[in-house]
Amino acid sequence: MLNLSLQQQGDALRAKKISSVELTQLYLDRIATHNPVLNAYVTVEAHKSLAQARSADAMLANGTAQALTGIPIAQKDIFCAQGWRTTCGSKMLDNFISPYDAHVITQFNAAGAVNLGKTNMDEFAMGSSNETSYFGPVRNPWDIKAVPGGSSGGAASAVAARLCAAATGTDTGGSIRQPAALCGISGIKPTYGTVSRYGMIAFASSLDQAGPMGRNAEDLGLMLNVMTGHDPRDSTSLARDKEDYTRDLSKPLKGLRIGLPREFFAAGLSQDVAQCVQAAVTEYQKLGAVVVDISLPNAKLAVPVYYVLAPAEASSNLSRFDGVRYGYRAPDYTDLTDMYEKTRAQGFGEEVKRRIMIGTYVLSHGYYDAYYLQAQKIRRLIAQDFVEAFKQCDVIMGPTSPSTAFNLGEKGDDPVQMYLSDIYTIAVNLAGLPGMSIPCGTGANGLPVGLQIIGDYFKEAQMLNVAHQYQMATDWHQRVPATVGA
């Protein structure tokens, strides 16, 4: 049952082959067994999950069930959920109980889905390995010595290890796609503004976007059907009609134009990853697609631009954590200024403090024009590169990550090397485009490799079709980590 897709689990629930309470309990038992090792969840409250499952069973009984009614979903601990501890992976919010629901949570509650718990993450979504969490690192179920990627590493690990049916994540510079690649699952970051950021704890507001993580493209489509929709409480939420993201899954790919950016296959890409990506492209050619050579000349500037803009926005967004209204407060201080200083010094981890300091520096008098404004100009050039590329192709493909999962602690002392883990994903966020990752093979060490698919604005349904057709022809998405059993 736990290896079934969302559609299959939904069919089983509606056919009364299993109840939501029984299905939820299966996952809770599995979490109890494997989470002590994987550390994928920060908070699990079985009584709350089972209460939601009982409500879902009532919906199933009275005929008001929707596609995801009764299905247990894990929520990244960046989404506020009423009555649930919401930590964002930080000591600063260790004991924060949210008084309201994020829009994403509201959408899943309305759909009758079950909240299995809150998944571990890099502190305030700042990290590419899930090692910056105050609650300890998450482990990759394919190799518990390896990282799962970040910042949505807990969600990716939970999906891969079958500790949930699917999960929510957020993506600021690759934080859905990179962990999806490293854990051998599927994940999509939709077009910026498609999913409301209301109740999603902010890191970099012009880049943050929520999205689903699941086993296959069909699962992602069903999740997007629930997550998307206009929310007037979020000024960046787009007023667009709801759409069915699964509508085109079965369309043939004959004539599909796949753009391969030469910049994505240059120095820095591991040979085993390149081989898997090329094999996936060859499979697409068998399915009727044609390959187009394209260029994204400013892509090489994406990482430095991101690490000016994202910290600048973070320094502003995280100024609210001051020990006054909620969250951690230093126990000993002499006056208000001393309380601010000690609270923030003790409450934030090293990576968060590093980014706040960088962001404050680039926004400071004398440096704003030299760094922040220049980065914004280059951001426009990066977005324009994609506009030109999509005149030649329908989708862009390449690696999601330059390598397979690296070991815990391997890059901890070298922030620049850690930042380069997102070299292929960051440009998508800077342009506000949709991007996704699906499994396409295994590297020399036997760990998963992700294929990145980038679409034009609002082309999520087409991207899911492209991914689904590949998954119908291959079985990489069906493989289960041996370390956690079938």
Backbone angles phi, psi at 36, to 5 degrees: -55, -30
The pair phi, psi for residue 79, each rounded to 5°, is: -95, 125
- Relative to beta strand 72-76, strand 209-214 is unpaired
Task: Out of 20, 98, 157, 175, pick the active-site residue.
Answer: 175
Q: Which of 5, 19, 20, 76 is catalytic?
A: 76
**CA 399 and chain centroid, separation:** 16
Active site residue 5: no
From its phi and psi, is residue 485 left (phi > 0), alpha (psi between -120 and 50) or beta?
left
State the Cα torsion 221-434-154-88 to the nearest 10°: -120
Is 364 catalytic? The answer is: no
Tokens encoding 312: 């600048």
Closest-CA residue to 395 (of 282, 279, 294): 294
Catalytic position from the list 20, 151, 196, 315: 151
Cα distances (angstroms) measured from residue 308 to each of 299, 302, 314, 359, 362: 15, 10, 10, 7, 7
Say which amino acid occupies 270: S
Phi and psi based region of residue 430 (left: phi greater than 0; alpha: psi -120 to 50; beta: remaining): alpha
175 is catalytic: yes
Q: What is the 3-state secondary structure (H, E, C) of 31-99?
A: HHHHHHHHCCEEECCHHHHHHHHHHHHHHHHHCCCCCCCCCEEEEECCECCCCCECCCCCHHHCCCECC
Which residue type, as a one-letter code, is found at position 379?
A: R
- Give exposure, 440-452, as e/b (b: 16+ Cβ within 10 Å): bbbbeeebbbbbb
Dist CA 174 CA 435 (whole Å): 9
Instruction: Give CA 320 to chain center in angstroms.
Output: 24
Q: What is the dihedral of CA 77, 452, 359, 298, to 10 degrees?
A: -170
Active centre residues (catalytic): 76, 151, 175
